[in-house]
């Protein structure tokens, strides 16, 4: 695990140097999570993650990439360095919201 941390630090430094990184951070274990639902009249607070699952988000990168191909190539490197799966998703924009089907 220590080698994974060192490799991830080096990857983060390269992302910064190459102008890709916007923000990166690790998260405490899912057991420390509190799920908050503020919809409706009374908010609810539940101990634990939002979804019951065997896998949990351990950290994340917010990166700037020229296109999806660059983002996917960086995700492959990130996955190798942190030794875990990496999900790639673009930020929602006004244009992407307009393209959503009406409810």
| pLDDT above 90 (res 31) | no
SS (H, E, C) 24-87: EEECCCHHHCEEEECCCCCCEEEECCCCCCCCCCCEEEEECCCCHHHHHHHHHHHHHHHCCCCC
48 or 38: which carries more pLDDT confidence? 38
pTM (two decimals): 0.72
Relative to beta strand 59-63, strand 21-26 is antiparallel
Q: Give tens-digit pLDDT for 63-75.
A: 999 999 999 999 9
| pLDDT above 90 (res 43) | yes
Q: What is the mean pLDDT of residues 30-43?
A: 89
50 or 45: which carries more pLDDT confidence? 45
């Amino acid at each position: 695990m220590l080698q994974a941390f060192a490799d991830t630090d080096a990857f983060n430094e390269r992302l910064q140097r190459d102008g890709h990184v916007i923000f990166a951070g690790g998260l405490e274990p899912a057991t420390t999570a509190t799920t908050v639902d503020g919809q409706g009249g009374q908010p609810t607070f539940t101990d634990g993650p939002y979804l019951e699952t065997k896998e949990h988000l351990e950290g994340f990168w917010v990166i700037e990439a020229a296109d999806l191909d660059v983002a996917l190539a960086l995700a492959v490197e990130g996955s190798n360095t942190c030794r875990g799966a990496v999900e790639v998703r673009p930020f929602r924009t006004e244009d992407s919201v307009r393209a959503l089907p009406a409810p």
